[in-house]
A and B are shown apart, each in its own frame.
Chain A
């Protein structure tokens, strides 16, 4: 073995350099710094415990790297390669392979094996996730194509067109429905209840379908009882289903692709847009991978392209990242899309500003209290849904003439329509306020009939089963018999009830139903008042603004002129001030950037957006902002709860419409999979809906299709392997209440998300790591013993030699 450093040959010099321990130390220091900078970032302040102290260099505009990308960048590879080279050269040239040095050889060999294993692992790594719903519903009606949707609370779909269309909405899902009859009595199953509205107004019922038990499919029909609005069809009509031609089947949600981590892709398809705005796909979704996008820093062409975000100013510039077609079936195969802008966290926001030619009345008002609290409201006369004020309390309208204002000042009290056909009586009577305040007063006869009545209570604008209804509770009497009638503004819902035996008839206790007395028909006519207690009236003309207040139900409305900037005392202690009023305004939709300090780091790129240009021959072509989707769902009825589906429509040449969606690239699964069951093991006290009560999530996954399908449990710390890919329990669907007006609450457990990935090279990595441990044990604990033995042996030999020599000398 050549001793390093003894030759001046350049190759030997290079070898000497590569076998220098000092070089190895320097490389380890560089690796330490590289790892530290890429992981925690650089501190820019002494308060190390503050998150804002840590500046992530890799997230700077020049680098734009995720943690994974930082550790797979060429400088890191170069450092590792150099380190490996130095390690190998040093070991071979400086450390003789003998029993004493076996430990060091073991450590160094282990590192090289670990590096080789890691190269194999990371270069072949495919990693992503796949969401799988518990069930998919398929709806079939004669003469119509079957329509399907994922079983997810609130999902809705229309079948057919125009007046003959049917609408279906998932009203509730019970993932733990107990079977009450049959061979499997007591078992739990996944039950979905779909609200069905047929073409006829009265064709309204619920259909319940149970996964795995098609024989238990049944309808629930209106009972007319507001306390229990639906009854089983078999009890009312004698059949389980009332619409035999309508078929709703429930089956598995089969998945054959998963979505890759850290990738970006634009998904597109061609669609037809019907006049009612519904989308009809002409082609299937195809994906185009997108590379070269920033990760963390906004890049836009012009500051005017976005709504400003306080002190954060996005960098100006154009990305010009080309996105060419990547697969057959692309609806625009000759067009290369171009990504021109990127926003890390933004949301499309429609804002209306005064000005322009379009008549679109806008009003901004501010409420303030004596204590200094203020609240601002924006209201739009032509679209109340865009207002941030509660429409039942405050509205803004625009009138073209004074007659409309005069009509508003007339109040119609609540009334009852009473019809008694046998007595030829059909009259409308006002409900006197005194009736409401004094429920025990005497009955009012219906002249010319044997009936008398008194109104106990009225309730307007009740939200019942997704409908807004008004009702009055009326006590009726005929021939000495008294009962209670619930009279709705939709008379088909009216119902008769026995008077409560204890307490008063106007108690809220559940009362026994009785057959509706059809000899007297009633309809409740709710009061007609100004649309809201606080009503701003714009017009006639461009400048005039008035405030119409109806703060007490029994009092007439009060009208007063108001002007922008002037305070008006609404009630003692509360001032209202119109700040902006304009009959003409312009509405613009642009992304609103979320300020950096308001961004939840846990959201990662979930709120990112890009702007795409679709070039056309001889021009720039249309452009559109695309919001990031965690998964590229097929349609709005294929979405999972808590995840968005907001594809963008773009008209391209030849009157064609393309739908675009920003998401991730996909990869085929080794075999189709489906969710056969999802259960939760819980701690004592059972599953409460919160993660703290969960012991484990268990997805029963069916691998394969048909008879060859095998079901295996995937749970936390218990992945399953299928054809080289491992499936891990990753996410779940927790329960949550209704999130907005009209939403349906969810009991959860409607889907699971599995992590999917391969793991080539793991055993090599493990072998390297284990060899290192063994090498360290040998180097630190065996090697000293061997040396000591040699020392003792040498000493003994020396003593023996000395003794022999001494004895020889003596001899």
Chain B
């Protein structure tokens, strides 16, 4: 227990350190400014109509990365940079992801004496640098030199360049496409307020000054520059009401207010990634229920798991609704949807197998999977970005739903199997440390077989109360391994069918394909090793964990490091 509590404490402390804002304060008016009326305004970005919140968040991610500047909302920071670009020149707002790059910048700045030790320390910790530092000649030279190292540094240095360019005057304003085409054509471009005003002035210079949208826009800019909170709120209120009304009157595809508000809410609630904390609580309670056979903890754990699952389901449905498609297109969606599948499966199994000794184990596995997935999304939003974008053309196919969902379902089951296998290994370690070194625990036959086939004329192993807990864990692992084994192979075959009509070949030895095959090979080895060894439970557990490691390697290292045809998945 003490160990668990200290683990929780560590995690929460780490979270609070991660979330701590940078120390420099830019402006104090932000707390009084009410930008919520903008939640109703749609912004066109890269072929998608987003809520203002969603747009600002995706844009600011290129500047501040996972950090918030001075605790300001992304919408506030986005508009503040748009209207007062120079104000951020000496504020640490640009996130530098790679620590090696941070160190190189600090070294270059130290040489020219343009950084203090305190600033260097803060920069190393938060990753946020001030634009003026990054524009300093010595630092610029260093970044230019690093950019030539294509493999290691070109991408992070390019990210810095992108961030600096977004801070240039006018750049963000040129991306605020909030005026729909007056032609009402789906294919005609949207306009920014500046291009709308310029077009208005070209056609009717005299009336431009009378146009309410232009007037309010001008008022907003001047109020923002002067820090007049009342005037800002007034202009925002008017624009937030008028632009959507005008948009819906001229453009039939203008998103509904409900959709835009829900999208804003989804991002304000940080895509529900904080639900990992509730899952963590359920994992602790479920573990206590299993280890101490404490019914109260078990039921409470199941309840907390159910609540967390409901929240995750709500997040998934929200995302499905605002994205207009089933969320399985990018890494964030694949990971979170995969664990949601795990939750569904666990609930089903907990109901079906509620009278067996396996009860609670599926919920524990699913809670652990969801906890890690949401933690990863919460702590690493740059890699697991919740940003909603359009799908690549190749993904507009029915096989996206079939192949991808089957594969990610198999992946989460592989993870679930590794949880029960991990518990089995811990149990064996504990028994080994307590002198029970020769004990062999397994269910004998396969997973489902152990629920059906009689053992020595008695009841099936997993239905028999006399079966040891180690054997129950082994049976649980096998049930999960068998299903994931079939799903993984079926997913591979389906992927081959899709690849055949999409890329012209069913199999291209792409790294992702190869390591999916390798994961399958591990399970094929597991099935056969189980036949030939006496200590079936131990080898099953070891190979199930190895299988999970190979699956995670495929999902993380192959995806982010070793490029291939599947690099978008």
Which A residues lie at the B interface, using CB under 8 A? 21-22, 24-25, 28-29, 31-32, 35-36, 38-41, 48-54, 67-68, 70-71, 118, 121, 125, 127, 369, 371-373, 595, 597-602, 682-688, 690-697, 716-719, 726, 728, 755-757, 759, 762, 765-766, 769-770, 772-773, 776-777, 780-781, 783-785, 787-788, 791, 795
* Contact, CB under 8 Å: A788 / B452: yes
Residues of B near A788 (CB, < 8 A) are 452-454, 460
Q: Collect the chain A residues with CB atoms within 8 Å of residue B396's CB.
A: 695-696, 716-717
Q: Which B residues, 44 to 93, have Cβ-Cβ distances below 8 Å to chain A?
A: 44, 46-49
C-alpha spacing A759/B508, complex, angstroms: 13
- With A32-B525, A371-B137, A787-B453 in contact, is A757–B563 under 8 Å at CB? no
A48 to B549, CA, bound (A): 13
B174 at the interface (CB under 8 A from A): no
Nearest Cβ on chain B to A120's Cβ, whole angstroms: 12
Q: Is the CB of A717 within 8 A of B187?
A: no
Given contacts A39-B514, A692-B47, contact A780 B525 (CB under 8 A): no
Distance between A426 CB and nearest chain B CB, rounded to angstroms: 45
Quick check: A39 and B490 within 8 Å, CB to CB? Answer: no
- Which stretch in B16-24, B231-239, B408-416, B442-450 binds the other chain? B442-450
Q: Which residues of B contact A29 (CB under 8 A)?
A: 525
List B contacts of A696 (CB < 8 A). 393, 396
Q: Mostly helix, strand, loop or mixed at chain A's interface?
A: helix
Contacts of A773 in B (CB 8 A): 486, 489-490, 493
Instruction: State A756–B447 Cα separation when bound (angstroms).
Output: 46
Within 8 A of A (CB), among B115-155: 137-138, 141, 148-152
Q: Tell me, in angstroms, the Cα distance from A25 to B523 when the chains sit together.
A: 11
Given A40-B558, A49-B561, A373 contacting B151 (CB threshold 8 A): no
17 CB < 8 A contacts A-B: A25-B532, A39-B509, A39-B562, A49-B560, A597-B152, A684-B48, A685-B187, A686-B185, A691-B392, A692-B46, A692-B390, A695-B393, A759-B504, A776-B489, A784-B452, A788-B460, A791-B453
Distance between Cα atoms of A67 and B389 in the complex (Å): 32
**Chain B residues near A40 (CB, 8 Å)?**
511, 514-515, 553, 557-558, 562
State the Cβ distance, B385 to closest chain A Cβ, in Å.
14
CA distance A54 to B564 in the complex (A): 14
B453 and A784 contact, CB distance less than 8 A: yes
Contact check, A776 vs B486: say whether CB atoms are below 8 A apart.
Answer: yes
Chain B, Cβ-Cβ closest to A369? B137
Pick from B284-292, B301-309, B494-502 the stretch touching chain A. Answer: B494-502
Residues of B within 8 A of A783 (CB): 449
A-B interface, 8 closest residue pairs, ranked by CB to CB distance from nearest: A683-B47, A769-B493, A39-B514, A686-B187, A784-B449, A784-B452, A692-B46, A693-B47
Q: Of all chain A residues, which has the CB nearest B190?
A: A685
Give the residue of B189, B397, B518, B522 whose beta carbon is less than 8 angstroms from that of A686. Answer: B189
Contacts of A716 in B (CB 8 A): 393-394, 396, 502
A761: nearest residue on chain B (CB-CB)? Answer: B506
* Interface flag for B206 (CB, 8 Å): no
| Contact of B325 with A by CB under 8 A | no
Q: How far is the CB of A697 from chain B (nearest CB, A)?
A: 7
Which chain A residues border B524 with CB–CB below 8 Å? 28
A373 to B135 CA separation, bound complex (whole angstroms): 12
In the assembled complex, the CB of A809 is this many whole angstroms from the nearest CB of chain B, namely: 23
Closest to A121 in B: B506
Determine if A597 and B390 form an interchain contact, defined as CB atoms under 8 angstroms apart: no
In the complex, A371 Cα to B112 Cα: how many Å?
A: 9
Q: Kindly state whether residue B531 has any CB partner on chain A within 8 Å.
A: yes
A48-B561, A696-B396, A773-B486 given; A21·B187 CB < 8 A: no
Q: Which of B151, B189, B525, B561 contacts A597 (CB 8 A)?
A: B151
**Known contacts A25-B525, A28-B528, A598-B148; A48/B557 CB under 8 A:** yes
Please, how many angstroms separate the alpha-carbon atoms of A491 and B517 in the complex? 74
How long is the Cα–Cα vector from A765 to B451 in the complex, in angstroms? 34
Please determine whether A765 and B496 come into contact, CB atoms closer than 8 angstroms.
yes
In the bound assembly, the distance between CA atoms of A40 and B522 in angstroms comes to 17
CB of B482 within 8 Å of the partner chain: yes
Q: A757-B504, A784-B445, A784-B448 are in contact. Are A687 and B187 (CB under 8 A)?
A: yes
Which residues in B have some Cβ–Cβ distance to A below 8 Å? 44, 46-49, 112, 137-138, 141, 148-152, 177, 185-190, 253, 389-390, 392-394, 396-397, 445-449, 451-454, 457, 460, 482, 485-486, 489-490, 492-493, 496-497, 500-509, 511, 514-515, 517-518, 521-522, 524-525, 528-529, 531-532, 553, 556-558, 560-563
Question: How close is B55's CB to chain A, nearest CB, in angstroms?
Answer: 13
Closest Cβ neighbor of A129 among chain B residues: B504
Are A766 and B389 in contact, CB atoms less than 8 angstroms apart? no
Q: Please, how many angstroms separate the alpha-carbon atoms of A694 and B396 in the complex?
A: 11
Q: B504 is contacted by which of A50, A599, A688, A726 (Cβ under 8 Å)?
A: A726
A697 and B502 CA atoms in complex are apart in Å by: 13
- Chain A residues lying within 8 Å of B482, measured Cβ to Cβ, are 776, 780
- The closest CB in chain A to the CB of B42 belongs to A684
CB of B48 within 8 A of CB of A683, answer: yes
CA distance A49 to B383 in the complex (A): 12
Assembled-state Cα–Cα distance A687/B390 (Å): 13
A665 to B520, CA, bound (A): 37
Shortest distance from the beta carbon of B146 to any chain A beta carbon, whole Å: 10
Min CB distance, B364 to chain A, in Å? 23
A686 to B49, CA, bound (A): 12
B150 touches A600 (CB 8 A): yes
| Interchain CB contact under 8 A, B397 and A770 | no
Q: Are B518 and A36 neighbours in the complex by a CB distance under 8 Å?
A: yes
Contacts of B148 on A, CB cut-off 8 Å?
595, 597-598
Closest chain A CB from B501 CB (angstroms): 6
Complex: A539 Cα to B139 Cα, angstroms: 40
Q: Is the CB of B393 within 8 A of A694?
A: yes
Q: In whole angstroms, how far apart are the Cα atoms of A28 and B394 in the complex? A: 33
Q: What residue in chain B is nearest A757 (Cβ atoms)?
A: B504
Contact, CB under 8 Å: A21 / B532: yes
* Residue among A25, A684, A777, A795 with max Cβ neighbours from chain B (10 Å): A684
| CB-contact partner of A52 in B151, B389, B486, under 8 A | B151
Contacts of A599 in B (CB 8 A): 150-151
CB-CB nearest in chain B for A49:
B561
Q: In whole angstroms, how far apart are the Cα atoms of A547 and B293 in the complex? A: 92
Contacts of A118 in B (CB 8 A): 507
A291 CA / B562 CA spacing, docked (Å) = 28
Partner of A780 from the list B190, B447, B561 (CB cut-off 8 Å) is B447
In the bound complex, CA of A70 to CA of B511 (Å):
13
With A127-B504, A597-B150 as given contacts, are A684 and B514 in contact (CB-CB < 8 Å)?
Answer: no
* Contact status A32-B445, CB under 8 Å: no
Q: Which residues of A have CB within 8 Å of B493?
A: 766, 769-770, 772-773
17 additional A-B pairs beyond A49-B557, A598-B149, A777-B486, beta carbons within 8 Å, are A25-B529, A35-B517, A39-B515, A52-B151, A53-B561, A54-B561, A54-B562, A371-B137, A684-B47, A685-B189, A686-B187, A755-B504, A776-B482, A776-B485, A780-B449, A780-B486, A795-B454
Given A759-B500, A766-B493, A769-B496, check contact A373 B453 (CB 8 Å): no
State the CA gap A51–B562 with chains docked (Å): 7
Query: B187, A682: Cβ atoms under 8 Å?
Result: yes
- Give Cα A127 to B556, complex, Å: 30
Given A685-B190, A696-B393, A50 and B506 touching (CB < 8 A)? no
Residues of A close to B518: CB separation below 8 A:
32, 35-36
Residues on the A chain within 8 Å of B446, using CB: 780, 784
Which of A52, A372, A601, A695 has a CB less than 8 Å from the CB of B152?
Answer: A52
Separation of A125 and B509 alpha carbons in the complex (Å): 14
The closest CB in chain B to the CB of A730 belongs to B504
CB distance from B125 to the nearest CB of A (A): 20
Name the CB-closest residue of A to B392.
A691
Decide: A597 near B532, CB < 8 A? Known: A692-B47, A759-B500.
no
The docked-state distance in angstroms from the alpha carbon of A785 to that of B557 is: 41
Which residue in chain B gives the minimum CB-CB distance to A128? Answer: B504
A597-B149 in contact (CB<8A): yes
Which residues of chain B come closer than 8 Å to A694, judged between CB atoms? Answer: 47, 393
